[in-house]
Amino acid sequence: MAMLLRPYRTSDRGAVYDICLRTGASGGDASSLVSDPTLFGDLWAGAYVDLEPEHATVLADGDDRAVGYVLAAADTLAFERRCETDWWPDAQARHPVGSGRTPLDQLLVALVHDPPSVDPDVVARYPSHLHIDLLPVAQRQGWGRRMVVRALELVGAAGSTGLHLGVDEANTAAHAFYERIGMELLGSDGSIRTYAATIPPGLPGSGVEAGD
């Protein structure tokens, strides 16, 4: 199947939310685990495509439908501040405290009302961050590596010197991927592993090659 990377379009928003849900269970489909299918997207995708679409890239299939995405914030601290005023209040209104019929719904709603903040030591060295997800049809073909490179290039062009991301401890396939492409494991808090890459001047990607 022919696929290509292209900039995010507003018409991709529904597909991005669907991908976020279908990869929400440590890389697997979380559709059966929640009663509200928008929770995953409101937590980990919507703010990026609405507030920083210039740093969002989708992987589109032959019908030009998104089957993967990489979303990035060039300045994590500035993005978090903007979310406090321009994203979380509306998301919290959509998902009131105590709403949700499944245990995972309730956990995600709690996160909407108390979103995690970045470790200041991490963001001092790696000011940008990303979220990346691909449906199974797009996996194991080298696209993930190319998408990480694209994100590094975009935030590097915005002046960033480094990028980090968090990965669920249960997602062992993702751990292997990030380590294989040369990202640095910074540590783990027991539930989330943090990986990072520097962006030297003139060398976006820190040695990660797009062709692999």
Split into its structural domains, the chain has a count of 1
- Give a yes or no: residue 211 inside a domain: no
**pLDDT (0 to 100) of residue 146:** 94
- Give a yes or no: residue 134 inside a domain: yes
Q: How far is CA 91 from CA 19, 31, 69, 106, 131, in A?
A: 19, 20, 21, 14, 19
Radius of gyration (Cα) for the chain, nearest Å? 16
At residue 38 the predicted structure's pLDDT band, cuts being 50, 70 and 90, is very high
pTM of this structure:
0.92
Q: Which domain holds residue 171?
A: 4-198
Are 165 and 192 a contacting pair, CB within 8 Å? no
- Give a yes or no: residue 209 inside a domain: no
Instruction: Look up the CATH number of the domain holding residue 117.
Output: 3.40.630.30
CA distance 58 to 80: 22
List strands edge to edge, sheet with 192-198: 4-7, 56-60, 66-73, 128-134, 162-168, 192-198, 184-188
Which residues in 195-212 are b (16+ Cβ under 10 Å) and which e? bbbbbeeeebbbebebee
Average pLDDT over residues 162-173: 93
Question: For residue range 72-124, what is the model confidence (pLDDT) as tens digits?
Answer: 999 999 999 999 999 999 999 999 998 989 999 999 999 999 998 899 999 99
